[in-house]
């Protein structure tokens, strides 16, 4: 059985300074929201936690914006 992401808990990551806690279904999940609601930042948090090699945070500016 492949690994399954069950929960994402965020605090202090980009636009999630006050935190977020999202639970996932093991079959299908959809992230929706208005423009500027944090969808991309949510995906960035997952990529950061899973050490995605394409998630580039090498610049000082990028690192400062990443974590509050």
CA distance 50 to 52: 6
Contacts of 49 (CB under 8 A, 6+ apart): 8
pLDDT in tens, 33-63: 999 999 999 998 888 888 777 777 666 666 6
pTM, 2 dp: 0.75
* Model pLDDT for residues 17-26, shown as the tens digit of each residue: 899 999 999 8
Tally Cβ neighbours within 10 Å of residue 25: 9
> Which region holds residue 28: left if phi is over 0, alpha if psi is between -120 and 50, else beta?
beta
């Amino acid at each position: 059985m492949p690994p399954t992401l069950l929960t994402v808990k965020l605090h202090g990551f980009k636009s999630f300074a006050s935190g977020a806690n999202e639970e996932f279904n093991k079959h299908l999940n959809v992230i929706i929201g208005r423009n500027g609601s944090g969808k991309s930042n949510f995906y960035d948090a997952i990529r950061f936690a899973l050490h995605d090699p394409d998630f580039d945070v090498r610049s000082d500016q990028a690192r400062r914006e990443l974590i509050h």
